[in-house]
Amino acid sequence: MRIGFGFDVHAFADQRALILGGVKIPYDRGLLGHSDADVLVHSIMDALLGAMALGDIGQHFPDTDPAYKDINSLLLLDKVIALLEKHAYRIGNIDCVISAQEPKLAPYIPKMKEILSKHLKISTGQISIKATTTERLGYEGRKEGITSQCVCLIESRK
């Protein structure tokens, strides 16, 4: 068994869609990034890559590469899952926390889990997603952006 940890942060930006876990969330701003800036998916990818000791998403999908401009992060997640399978691992579980003062995310978590379970090739019961605020403290509390943290357990299929 191996454990990985992932963290991602993106600032809010005007004229961008807010995408979290592959779900478009109704909000007046989205997140700034080279890709679609899906902080939840990015933290999951980093956790999985870290558990396999294969670096981070910046090494695999650099923001200097025009191929990844505005790309759907779920497509990048599919590539990470292909690496997981290539190295003969399977996911035991994923546990994530999204920190945002707003918007309220709880109503969208079931859909996030449904979408992610298909891409991760695991059941929704193996995925935990929690949303919290920072009680108006810090970056998230000032409504400047959103962070996501994720821990994962992977197991060898050998």
pLDDT 10s digits, 50-88: 999 999 999 999 999 999 999 999 999 999 999 999 999
Distance, in Å, from the CA atom of 89 to the CA atom of 10, rounded to the nearest integer, reads 29
* pLDDT, tens digit, 9 for 90 and up, residues 18-62: 999 999 999 999 999 999 999 999 999 999 999 999 999 999 999
Q: Are 151 and 47 in contact (CB under 8 A)?
A: yes
Annotated binding site: 8-10, 34-35, 42, 56-58, 61-65, 132-135, 142
* pLDDT, tens digit, 9 for 90 and up, residues 100-147: 999 999 999 999 999 999 999 999 999 999 999 999 989 898 999 999
- What structural domains does the chain harbor? 2-156 (3.30.1330.50)
- pLDDT (0 to 100) of residue 158: 82
- Give the pLDDT band (50/70/90) at residue 148: very high
Annotated binding site for a divalent metal cation: 8, 10, 42
